[in-house]
Each structure stands twice: as structure tokens, then as C-alpha cells.
Chains A and B, each alone.
Chain A
Amino acid sequence: MTYRTRVAILILIMGYAALAALITNTQSIWIFFLGIVCFLLITFVLWLESRSVRWQLKVYKRKIYEVLRNLNRFEDPRDKHNASKMESEIADFYGNIGRQIKKSFQIEKQFTQNASHELQTPITVIKTSLESLLQSPNLQEEDYKDIETILKNTNKLSRINQALILLSRIRSYYNDNVEKVNVNDMIHHIIGEFEERLDHSGIKVEFQEENELIFEMNKTLCEIMLSNLVSNAIRYNLKKNGYLLIKVKGNAIRLENPGKHLTKNTEDLFDRFARDNDNPDSLGLGLSIVKLICEYSGLMVDYYHKEGVHELVVRKK
């Protein structure tokens, strides 16, 4: 029943009541009483109506949030046969927003994917040509220096591009192959992978496990996330007496390492291309990759810094 029909019925009831009062010539107190009952009934019906609208809004609001979180899918949740006209309008309004968001997301996603893939081939051509040029027997020392500069920058270009591809892939694939990942095992595995680098830099590693921690997420993304964190902790560690302390406790992983005093706000370091001024070689994409993976996997990441001690914490939301 729509709002209008319900109100109409109520007015009819009121009319009948008034008519009955007139005909039976009852005392005016009864008419007054009937008036109050009708008023209450109308209020109740209107309240019911607004509650249904609010509920409808809520459903769509939740859907919009879901769309924002999970931009690959948008389905109209409306039950087409039972929808009133007003409910239909709400559905259309929110449905349009949802579809528009989805569309712009897809356009952006496709652009990033195409752009980064199209860049790979020219980058390969530059690299290949340079390597071929290097084989020439007539090069002078100056030439080698120029080639070295071009090579170094081409490699940087290539790495930025690969990181951008990864960022766009996280958004497309985070939902595939979600499984229970044992974080403790994963950390042991990653420490093993980095063993050589850790030895070389003389960084002492300690891994404290208070409990077993399971993340439900894509395993590859979990590995990329933890590798990035460990790699950062090694790269920005102290040159002498460095250490890396990894703790798994409750719902959180903590990675602690000593390093330089930061000149930036820790939150800003999660932004793309943000980096501390002393590290011109860093791409500034490592932490934004970590943050994006966390966002899409129901995790939170925080960066704490106190007097040269850096701590990154990843925990379940």
C-alpha cells in the first residue's frame, strides 16, 4: 500500500466517524475522541511510511559503500515486484550513483592498465637499444657515463611502471583466491628470502611469536605486503647496529627498526610518490602498495615514529 492510499483510507474513516457522530447525535466528547484516534492513526501510518523509506535508504547506502569497496560489481537490490513508486525512485537514484561510480572506476582502471602495458614495450626497446649500443668498440669513457645515466633512469621508469601495474592489479584481483593465510609461516618464509640481504647489512632479526595469526586474504598479496614492509625495514635501517624486531601478538603484526629521524608526517608516507627527502632513489610506492593491499583485505596499517625508532603495525580491522 502506498503512502497516498493509506492517507486516503484514513481520511475516509475520519469522514465516516464524523458522519456517524452527526447522525447518531452523540456527545461531542466522542467526536473529539474519534478525532484523536484518527490523528494518532495518521501519525502512526506516516511513521511507518518514513521508516520504510529510511530502511530503503539504508539498504542503498550500504550497497553504495559495498560498491565503493568492491567496485567490480554492482547489483540493484530492489525487489521489482513489491516496490512502491517511491521505493522505485530511491532505487533509481542510488542505482544511478552506483552505476556511475562503477563506470568511472572501470574507465580509470582500464586507463591505468592500458597505459602501463603500452609503456612496457617502448621501455624494453630503450633498454635493448642501450645494451646493443654498449657493445660498440668505439665508445669513450664519457659515452659510458652517458649510457649509465640513461640506463639508470630507464630502469627507474620501468620500476615505477611495474609498481603502477601492481597497484592497478591489487584493485582487480584482491578478491580472487582469498584463503586463510598463516602470517607466522609467511613471516618465517620472508625472513628466509631476505636472509642474504640481512646478513650483508649486518641487521639482527628477532621474530617474537605470541600467538598464531591468520589473515583471510589473497596469499600473493599478503606476501607482497609483508615483503615490502621487511624490505623497507632493511633499507631504512641504521648502517651500524641495525636491527629488525617483528612481533605477532593478538590481531597485529609489528615491525620495528631504528632509522633516521623523519622530517615528514608519518601518515603522508603512505601517499603515492611520497618519500623522505634523503632518499632520492626510492620510488615512494612501497608503502602505498602496502596500504592499498590492507584497505582491500580488511586490514589496517599504521606508522609510528618516535626518536628514530620506526614501527609499522598491520592489524585486523
Chain B
Amino acid sequence: MKFLIIEDEPNLQKLISYFLTKEDHLTEVAGTFSEAKGKLHNFSYDCIILDLNLPDGNGLNLLPIIRADHKEAAVIIVSAKDSIDDRIKGLDLGADDYLIKPFHVSELNARIKAVTRRKLFAQDDKAVFGDFTFYFEGRKVEIRDKEIDLTKKEYEILIYLYRNKNRVITKDSLAEHLWGDYMEDNYSFDFLYAHLKNLRKKLAKEGVENYLQTLYGVGYKFAIPTA
């Protein structure tokens, strides 16, 4: 897929671009409102990552242009402006999702996958990964054609792990994904460990617990185990 990253902070621009390139996407960057406007007029993109605070204008004003010229593109707003007003305005103007800085790359990744799947591969309701088959609409997971019984939270954890497959995700990003950022201190981790323990048990029962690796207290990785 081809991405346009509209972000004025050079470090962040580089990091998002680096991360997307590693996921085998094509990326282009625009650091200013006018640069973004030019690129949007001349090229086509599948997904646009839009920062609202640009040095020469408000990113919100780019949304009508995006919607006129790039009907199919998925748009994710990324901004430090965390007012509810901006969020509603952004979504009203046709953005598909809204992410507040500071965010985890894994969260951005999960949102991109969710949005692009919804928009670009709407007919594609299932995904196969090793022994796992995910059904997004039905919110269910099969392991070797056998449906496993998951709680809502366990399903969310597994989908988040799947959307970030083959990458290390931190336990913070997982906790934040599940409960939002108001869950504080070690308490939320106790909580996360409890859910993961149950999930791991269920995976173990089907003999696939080695898909889920723990990395020295930092985080987790969901990958097809090397034999």
C-alpha cells in the first residue's frame, strides 16, 4: 500500500516512515500544509496519516481535499490536540480514525490494519495465520478449524497481537489498547497478566501456546514458531 505521512516533526516523520517501510509499504512524507496539498493533488494514496498541527495551517482543512480527490483512501488523524471538538470535527470531515499523541507504534499499526481492512478489503472478512483463522465480523477465532471460546478481552488481545504479528509489542501498549490511558501504574499490568494467563491456558489446550512469546518483562511477540 502507498502511504502519505503528513507530519511536521522530522523525527516522528522518519520513525513512522521507517516502521511502514519495514511492513513492506511505500511511503511519502509531507512536512507542511502546502507540501501535503501539492502531493494530494498530484499523486494517489491508499492511506494518509495526518497531523493536525502543521506550521502553515490546520490539518483539518486538508480533509475536504482528501475526501474530494482520494475517496478510497483511509485517513488516520494523529495529533496532540486532544480536544473532543477536534476529534468529532475530524471524524465528521471524513477521517476514519483519530489517534492522540503520544501513541504506541503498535497502536498505530493496529488502527491502520483495522481501517484499511474495513475500507480496502471490505469483502475480506477472514485472515489465516499459521494454525489460526480470524473472523473479524463474527469476532471469533478458530485454531485448526476449531472455534475457541474467548472472552471479549481475550479476543481483543489476540486481535491486537495478530495485527502486530512478528513484532515485539510492549505490555504498556497492550494495556493502553485494552483500557485506554487512564489505567495507571502496575495495577493495570496485574490485570493484563491475569487475562494473558487465561489466554495462554486456552492456547496451550490447543497446543499453540508457543505462538505467544514473552520477552523479559518488556512485552510480547506473536509469531509462527520456528520448528
Binding site for B on A (CB under 8 A): 117, 120-121, 123-125, 127-132, 134-135, 141, 144-145, 147-148, 151-152, 155, 158-159, 162, 165, 196-197, 200, 220, 227, 231, 235, 281-283
Contact A165 B82 (CB under 8 A): yes
Of the listed residues A127, A131, A158, A165, the one surrounded by the most CB atoms of chain B closer than 10 A to its CB is A131
Contacts of A152 in B (CB 8 A): 172
Contact A151 B184 (CB under 8 A): no
Q: At the interface, yes or no: B19 with Cβ under 8 Å from chain A?
A: yes
The CA-CA distance from A127 to B106 in the complex, in Å, is 11
Contacts of A117 in B (CB 8 A): 80-81
Contact A227 B105 (CB under 8 A): no
The CA-CA distance from A121 to B81 in the complex, in Å, is 11
Contacts of B80 in A (CB 8 A): 117, 120-121
Contact of A144 with B185 at beta-carbon distance under 8 Å, contacts A117-B80, A125-B9, A135-B167 already known: no
Q: Which of B60-118 contact A (CB under 8 A)?
A: 80-82, 84, 101-106
Contact of A141 with B105 at beta-carbon distance under 8 Å, contacts A125-B11, A235-B187, A282-B185 already known: no
Contact of B15 among A129, A145, A151, A227 (CB under 8 A): A129
Contact of A128 among B12, B22, B191 (CB under 8 A): B12
Contact of A134 with B218 at beta-carbon distance under 8 Å, contacts A120-B102, A127-B102, A128-B105 already known: yes
Contacts of A141 in B (CB 8 A): 216
Contact of A132 among B105, B169, B186 (CB under 8 A): B105
Contact of A145 with B216 at beta-carbon distance under 8 Å, contacts A124-B12, A200-B194 already known: yes
B203 to chain A, nearest CB (A): 21
Contact of A162 with B181 at beta-carbon distance under 8 Å, contacts A117-B80, A135-B167, A151-B170 already known: yes
Contact A144 B218 (CB under 8 A): yes
The CA-CA distance from A121 to B54 in the complex, in Å, is 13
The CA-CA distance from A281 to B189 in the complex, in Å, is 12
Contacts of B18 in A (CB 8 A): 132
The CA-CA distance from A145 to B219 in the complex, in Å, is 11
Q: At the interface, yes or no: B143 with Cβ under 8 Å from chain A?
A: no
Q: Interface readout for B169-182 with A: 1 if CB under 8 Å, 0 if not?
A: 11011000000011
Contact A283 B184 (CB under 8 A): yes
Contacts of A235 in B (CB 8 A): 184-185, 187
Contact A281 B186 (CB under 8 A): yes
Contact B184 A144 (CB under 8 A): no
The CA-CA distance from A159 to B80 in the complex, in Å, is 14
Q: Interface readout for B16-48 with A: 1 if CB under 8 Å, 0 if not?
A: 101100100000000000000000000000000
Of the listed residues A120, A151, A197, the one surrounded by the most CB atoms of chain B closer than 10 A to its CB is A120
Contacts of B191 in A (CB 8 A): 196-197, 200
- Give the nearest-CB partner of B99 in chain A: A124
Contact B167 A124 (CB under 8 A): no
The CA-CA distance from A227 to B182 in the complex, in Å, is 10
Could you list 5 A-B pairs, sorted by A, with CB under 8 Å? A129-B11, A134-B218, A148-B216, A151-B172, A197-B191
Contact of A282 with B184 at beta-carbon distance under 8 Å, contacts A121-B80, A151-B172 already known: yes
Contacts of A158 in B (CB 8 A): 102, 181
Contacts of B138 in A (CB 8 A): none
Q: At the interface, yes or no: B215 with Cβ under 8 Å from chain A?
A: yes
Contacts of B219 in A (CB 8 A): 134
Q: At the interface, yes or no: B168 with Cβ under 8 Å from chain A?
A: yes
B125 to chain A, nearest CB (A): 28
